[in-house]
Amino acid sequence: MPALDNIVSERLKTLAEREQQRVLRDSSRSEGIYVERGGKMFVSFSCNDYLGLSQHSKVIEAAIEATKQYGVGAGASRLITGNHPLYETLEATIAKKKKTEAALVLGSGYLTNVGVIPALVGKGDLIITDKLVHACIIDGAQLSGATLKRFKHNDMVDLERLLESRKDYENCLIVTDHVFSMDGDIAPLKAMRALADKYDAWLMVDDAHGLGIIEPEAEPHIWMGTLSKAVGAYGGYVAASQKVIDYLITSTRSFIFSTGLPPATIAAATEALKLMSPELAAKPLALARRFRNDAQSTIVPVILGEEAAALAKSKSLEAAGLLIQAIRPPTVPAGTSRLRVAFSALHTPEMVDKLVKAV
């Protein structure tokens, strides 16, 4: 066996021993909540399509029309020839939803965090994040070269303790998820904004799981998020003042050096944002509360501890026709392997009751 294959098979063996090896499984989605795997149909509680918009006929129609009219690919980065006119409506719609002057759409949420964070801060600056923020925020922080400090989850006393070192740095960026992706709880944005103002720091909030679902209690300096979850399409965005957006257009490497989104995706996202409403958001939230009456968002964790326990539970649910992926380290801290249950507007109360029984 070539040396490279030998080395990676050793690594794979270690991962498999820890029950941490990840493998791909064919999953064909239909009607938003059904997934076909290995010839069997499951009701999925693992998709982030909280409003079912990825399957909405108007959204599908918008994508088809845009493809017919403009073709499939963007052809170049947005600063070259990939700045399709459809972007303008999408960005205006996002800015309006986020109550900011402007917005910028990038390739994905991941590309947004790994590009925007290094554009804003670098060596000599300080980044402070919640311990449980999404991996791509940490990747962006590491790429930036700024000093990274992390506070205990949603603990404002710990955040303020870290902010006391703020004076040793030139700029300071605080970054948090709005709705935490693996726990479903919500960051205290009002308190965070007050601390940011008190210590002359900028607050950036990742709204990947909040847009269209949870109204924020305060406005950060910078919003970012994804068009791939409740919006049901694909892409990432950042929303902020016009000046910040003008600066990011010319300074964000993952924006400058990556191709624009397909026209179909832009048209679909724009249509989906139009279809969002408080009435639609109330549906998955009510189902989450039917499952657990203290649910704060459309995400509810069932924490089981060891990897093997979460995998076994996920398997037993599969036998009952329910698809709920086990989430293990390093996605979540060691000893907190879990089922991450995600609710959609398309689930029925009966499906939730079946899940309650099976869990």
Ligand X SMILES: *Cc1c(COP(=O)(O)O)cnc(C)c1O
User: Among this protein's residues, is 313 annotated catalytic?
Assistant: no
Q: Are 297 and 310 in contact (CB under 8 A)?
A: no
**Residues contacting 62, CB < 8 A, separation 6+:** 264, 267, 268, 270, 271
The amino acid present at 102, given as its one-letter code, is A
Measure the N-to-C terminal CA separation of the chain; round to a whole number of Å.
Answer: 44
- Using the rule CB under 6 A, give the single segment among 107-115, 158-166, 258-266, 327-335 that binds ligand X: 107-115
Q: Residue 20 or 331: which CB sits closer to ligand X?
A: 331
- Total residues interacting with ligand X, rule: CB under 6 A: 13
Instruction: Kindly tell me which residue out of 32, 52, 82, 109 binds ligand X, with binding defined by CB under 6 A.
Output: 109
Query: Minimal distance in Å, beta carbon 108 to ligand X?
Result: 4
Q: Residue 179 or 351: which CB sits closer to ligand X?
A: 179
The bridge status of strand 34-37 relative to strand 102-106 is unpaired
Give the strand order in the sheet containing 299-305: 299-305, 337-342, 326-327
Catalytic residue among 209, 221, 283, 313: 209
Which is nearest to 114 in space by CA: 14, 265, 257?
257
73-79, Cβ contacts within 8 angstroms, sequence gap of 24 or more? 73/259, 73/262, 74/259, 74/260, 74/261, 74/262, 74/263, 75/259, 75/260, 76/259, 76/260, 77/255, 77/256, 77/257, 77/258, 77/259, 77/260, 78/255, 78/260, 79/249, 79/255, 79/256
Tell me the per-residue interface mask from 232 to 251 with ligand X, x by CB under 6 A, - otherwise: ----x---------------
Under the criterion CB under 6 A, does residue 226 sit at the interface with ligand X?
yes
**Residues contacting 16, CB < 8 A, separation 6+:** none
Under the criterion CB under 6 A, does residue 136 sit at the interface with ligand X?
yes
User: Among this protein's residues, is 315 annotated catalytic?
Assistant: no
157 burial via Cβ count (<10 Å: 0-12, 13-18, 19+) = exposed
Query: Minimal distance in Å, beta carbon 227 to ligand X?
Result: 7
CA pair distance 298, 280, nearest whole angstrom = 12
Q: Residue 327 or 351: which CB sits closer to ligand X?
A: 327
Under the criterion CB under 6 A, does residue 228 sit at the interface with ligand X?
yes
Catalytic residue among 56, 229, 313, 347: 229
Under the criterion CB under 6 A, does residue 340 sit at the interface with ligand X?
no
Q: Residue 211 or 351: which CB sits closer to ligand X?
A: 211
Under the criterion CB under 6 A, does residue 129 sit at the interface with ligand X?
no
**Residues contacting 306, CB < 8 A, separation 6+:** 335, 337
Q: Residue 45 or 110: which CB sits closer to ligand X?
A: 110
Q: Residue 50 or 202: which CB sits closer to ligand X?
A: 50
Residue sitting closest to ligand X (CB): 109
33 phi and psi angles, rounded to 5 deg:
-115, -5
Residues of span 196-225 touching ligand X by CB under 6 A? 206, 208-209
Query: Minimal distance in Å, beta carbon 245 to ligand X?
Result: 19
Tell me the per-residue interface mask from 140 to 179 with ligand X, x by CB under 6 A, - otherwise: -------------------------------------x--
Instruction: Kindly tell me which residue out of 93, 100, 181, 325 binds ligand X, with binding defined by CB under 6 A.
Output: 181
User: Among this protein's residues, is 221 annotated catalytic?
Assistant: no
166 burial via Cβ count (<10 Å: 0-12, 13-18, 19+) = middle
Query: Minimal distance in Å, beta carbon 316 to ligand X?
Result: 26
Residues at the site binding ligand X, with contacts judged by CB under 6 A? 108-110, 134, 136, 177, 181, 206, 208-209, 226, 228, 236
Give the residue numbers marked as catalytic: 181, 209, 229
